[in-house]
Amino acid sequence: MIKTILFLVLSLLLLFFTLRRPYRHRFFRFFAFECTLGLVVLNADFWFLDPASVLQILSWLLLVGSLLLALHGFHMLRSFGAPQEDLENTTEVVTTGAYRFIRHPLYGSLLLLGLGAFLKSPSEYGLVLVILLAVFLYATARVEEVDNLKRFGQTYADYMEATRMFIPYIF
């Protein structure tokens, strides 16, 4: 019951935060956050069970990697994106750090977070949430890329050709 209430309260906060943002990709991103939140809540009872198991160690590696990639991505946007008013409203295409290899480190970090939460206690329901998370992150990134092409033109098109979306050299 507590997990359900927590999920609903956090979902309402996410919805409020999403609706007040002007970006077109906000709805897909909302559902990606919902899937991530669902994975965390679904497996909340298993986060610290059997800490020496292979799944737990792999899970923690993904979770730490998620945190590090997110912190790095935010730092790069703040330092090199010349944001106006909002961190997402950059005036420069960031092509250094992780952005040198992938266009969406922050969405990549969200995917790592979801996978890490899933591995706490893999289940069919959790697998559905991970798949939905990946679909919503892909949709979010595609909408954002269309907007970035309009905003930055050929500079962003060249950047897209030189990088991958989420996984360096692969995808």
- What does the pLDDT look like over 130-170, one tens digit per residue? 999 999 999 999 999 999 999 999 999 999 999 999 988 88
pLDDT digits (tens, 9 = 90+) for 119-129: 999 999 999 99
Task: Name which residue leads in pLDDT, 145 or 1.
Answer: 145
Q: Where are the domains of the chain?
A: 2-162
- Rounded distance between C-alpha atoms, residue 57 and residue 88, angstroms: 33
Report pTM: 0.89
Task: Using the predicted structure, report yes or no on whether residue 110 has a pLDDT greater than 90.
Answer: yes
The SS3 of residue 28 is helix
Whether pLDDT at 86 is above 80: no
Asked if 57 contacts 83 with a C-beta cutoff of 8 angstroms, the reply is no
Instruction: Work out the mean pLDDT of the chain and round it to a whole number.
Output: 91
- Quote the DSSP letter at residue 88: T
